[in-house]
Amino acid sequence: MPSPAEAPAGERRLLAGFDAGQTHTRCLLAWAQAPGAPRLHEPVSAGAFQVLAEGEGPGVSHLAAAGGPERFQSALATSLAAARQQLPPAWWHLPLAAAAIGASGIETGSPVQHQGQALAAAALALPPGRLLVTGDERTALRGACGPAAGILVISGTGCIALGQDGSGREHRCGGWGWLLDGAGSAMDVGRDGLALAVQMADGRLAETELRSQLWQALSAKTAQEVKALVVAPEFGPAGFARLAPLVNQLAAAGDPHAKAVIKTSAAALAGLVIGVARALELAAPQVCGVGGALTHLDQLQLGFGACLARALPTATLVEPRGDACWGALELADQLAQEPLDQEPAGF
């Protein structure tokens, strides 16, 4: 792709890719290709686009939450403005050719997605046909696999697996909210460890270091204190997830209860992948595992790899070709090539 200095004025059409998380929002800017021009880049990889600029803004919350719409628009506008400031001054006011935004909690075809589309269109001054607001798992999948067949499994505070068959079909397993479907996540590792700890406290299970270590991490002395802590509004899934590294550490040290928790979560992650592979009829899928839990909890990572190898030996674990922001850029570039009256992909 031409460098910023080489791009003719008439071809200076900007793409924006956003990764809107709860803590911060990231925006990448790159040149869009001229409609009908030969493809100048391969599917998403670390070098697929020559990024012109990067900016950050505040995080977002669910659009149904108090102040959610305002936070969403502020995050987009702020991160875009920060990225524009990295461009040469003559390009600061170039209009966007297209944009794609990945944000958590956006279900395809839902009223929330349509609300997000309207809010983003106003914030970025783009027509609907040049804009896509979708779940961050979809931009992450595109970043990891490009348009090729593959499966992405994400394990962080929550977990989800999403795959594509390379011909337009997608399938998702998991990600139905922490109250219903957290097996394989850092939240579940912490919660399950704590559940076993209270069973130790009342005599149902033999005592191990797991109980005393978790009690200490929570600055609690009794099961009654733990019960009060976990129902506090500010505790939530993040409070359980913060305990996961300790459970992982104890599993590595041989604590039998911690090992059982990790084993259950690893098997659950493998189950997500198997469900996607079965639905898409992927006999030998390439699988990318990402997210804070899979990255930082070594026992979970090792257990997931072992479970997947046993249950689906034809699967291959591979590194992602790019992240969610790269995936958003790829989707934005696709939108920039489509007729304006065409509904954006993902609806």
Is residue 154 over pLDDT 90? yes
Summarised one tens digit per residue, pLDDT across range 75-113 is 999 999 999 999 999 888 889 999 999 998 898 889 999
- Return the H-helix or E-strand segment holding 27: strand 24-31
Summarised one tens digit per residue, pLDDT across range 240-297 is 999 999 999 999 999 999 999 999 999 999 999 999 999 999 999 999 999 999 999 9
63-72, 183-192, 297-306: range with lowest mean pLDDT: 63-72
Tokens of 73: 């628009």
Residue partners of 338: CB distance under 8 A and separation at least 6: 129, 344
Question: What is the per-residue DSSP string for 118-187?
Answer: HHHHHHHT--GGGEEEEEHHHHHHHHHHTTSSEEEEEESSSEEEEEE-SSS-EEEEE-S-TTT--TTSHH
Question: What is the per-residue DSSP string for 82-114?
Answer: HHHTTS-GGGTTPPEEEEEEEETT--TTSHHHH
pTM of the model: 0.84
CATH superfamily of 9-146+323-337: ATPase, nucleotide binding domain (3.30.420.40)
Residue 9 binned pLDDT confidence (cut-offs 50, 70, 90): very low
Cα–Cα distance measured from residue 201 to residue 7, given in angstroms and rounded to the nearest whole number: 67
Is residue 133 over pLDDT 80? yes
In terms of pLDDT, which residue wins out, 40 or 188?
Answer: 188
Q: 279 forms bridges with which residues in the sheet? A: none
Residue 311 binned pLDDT confidence (cut-offs 50, 70, 90): very high
Where are the domain boundaries for CATH 3.30.420.40 in the chain? 9-146+323-337, 186-317
Give pLDDT, residue 42: 40
Cα–Cα distance measured from residue 254 to residue 233, given in angstroms and rounded to the nearest whole number: 33
Summarised one tens digit per residue, pLDDT across range 158-199 is 999 999 999 989 999 999 888 899 899 999 999 999 999 999
What fold characterizes domain 186-317? Nucleotidyltransferase; domain 5 (3.30.420)
Q: Return the DSSP state at 254.
A: T
Cα–Cα distance measured from residue 131 to residue 176, given in angstroms and rounded to the nearest whole number: 25
Is residue 48 over pLDDT 90? no
The residue-averaged pLDDT of 288-315 equals 96
Summarised one tens digit per residue, pLDDT across range 186-240 is 999 999 999 999 999 999 999 999 999 999 999 999 999 999 999 999 999 999 9
Cα–Cα distance measured from residue 208 to residue 265, given in angstroms and rounded to the nearest whole number: 20
Average pLDDT, the chain: 90
